């Protein structure tokens, strides 16, 4: 019983929720401008905890992530208006397409982005270069 209480006190004081995750948030910008949409994924470097992620909306995200060193994968995109052809009705339909803003290297297991997740509420911000600036 005393061990269970000690574990509970330790988890609470370290900022872990009951499921062993920490709530972190931050911003994702491309050349200093908030990413309109996309996703961010936190992959454990040691492979011992779950992979977690979140949606990026207007440059911001919030995720529940197990503590530890993470490889960060980012897919930053924007919406561009366009048209697609509907073969059934034989008409063009206005739609939005998503366009990648950053190089694909940031969305792989070899992403150079890292984060040390250690406490609740800890900000993790990422400013990435646009595809055009990398070339």
Query: Does pLDDT of 123 surpass 50?
Result: yes
pLDDT of residue 11: 40
pLDDT tens for 5-30 read 333 333 444 455 568 899 999 999 99
Tell which residue, 34, 27, 59, 40, has the closest CA to residue 126: 27
pLDDT of residue 80: 82
pTM assigned to the model: 0.76
Which position has the higher pLDDT, 132 or 1? Answer: 132
What CATH architecture applies to the domain 21-127?
Sandwich (2.60)
Answer for the pair 119, 22: CB distance below 8 angstroms, yes or no: yes
pLDDT tens for 33-49 read 999 999 999 999 999 99
């Amino acid at each position: 019983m005393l061990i269970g209480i000690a574990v509970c006190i330790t988890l609470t004081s370290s900022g872990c929720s009951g499921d062993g995750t920490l709530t972190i948030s931050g911003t994702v910008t491309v050349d200093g401008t908030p990413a309109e949409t996309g996703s961010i994924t936190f992959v454990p470097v040691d492979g011992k905890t779950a992979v977690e992620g979140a949606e990026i909306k207007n440059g911001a995200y919030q995720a529940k992530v197990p503590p530890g060193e993470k490889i960060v994968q980012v897919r930053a995109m924007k919406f561009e208006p366009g048209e697609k052809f509907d073969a059934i009705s034989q008409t063009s339909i206005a739609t939005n397409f998503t366009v990648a803003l950053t190089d694909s290297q940031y969305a792989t297991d070899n992403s150079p982005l890292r984060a040390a997740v250690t406490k609740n509420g800890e900000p993790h911000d990422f400013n990435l270069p646009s595809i055009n600036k990398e070339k």
